[in-house]
Structure 1
Amino acid sequence: MSITQQYVLDTHRAQRLGETPPPPPGTHDWRTARELRGYWQFRAVVAELPAQGRLRRALGRWPRPWARSAW
């Protein structure tokens, strides 16, 4: 069963029981992503790691072939 089919089934069931329908799929995706980012930052602080800039520093250590100096 796809997400859309499950949503239609849940909406129909809620309508028959007189309840509020569930939110459409994808409604809370951005909020969930923000909450996950906050959770990862919290875990980094608990683990005594810097909460910001870890990815940027890690990527800065990779070799950059486009930034090589001309000989």
Structure 2
Amino acid sequence: MKNSSSTNSEAVDSPCRRQCCLDDHDVCLGCGRSLSEILEWGKADSERRRAICQAAQQRLRPTPFCR
């Protein structure tokens, strides 16, 4: 039986796509992470990395244009 701590320590792959280009809000257009999240990645634990990935995916989702 796995305990929750072993799940939290599983490796989380970086969402980096090597298409780094920051927009006006310091968000990478390639992976969706903010500049602060990119800098934090190396020291972040697996739980935080999953949260960063989830937030990045939300930023990359297309949004409807306002008319």
TM normalised by structure 1 equals 0.28
Q: Which has the higher contact order (CA 8 A, sep 6+)?
A: 2
Larger CA Rg, structure 1 vs 2: 1
More helix by share: 1
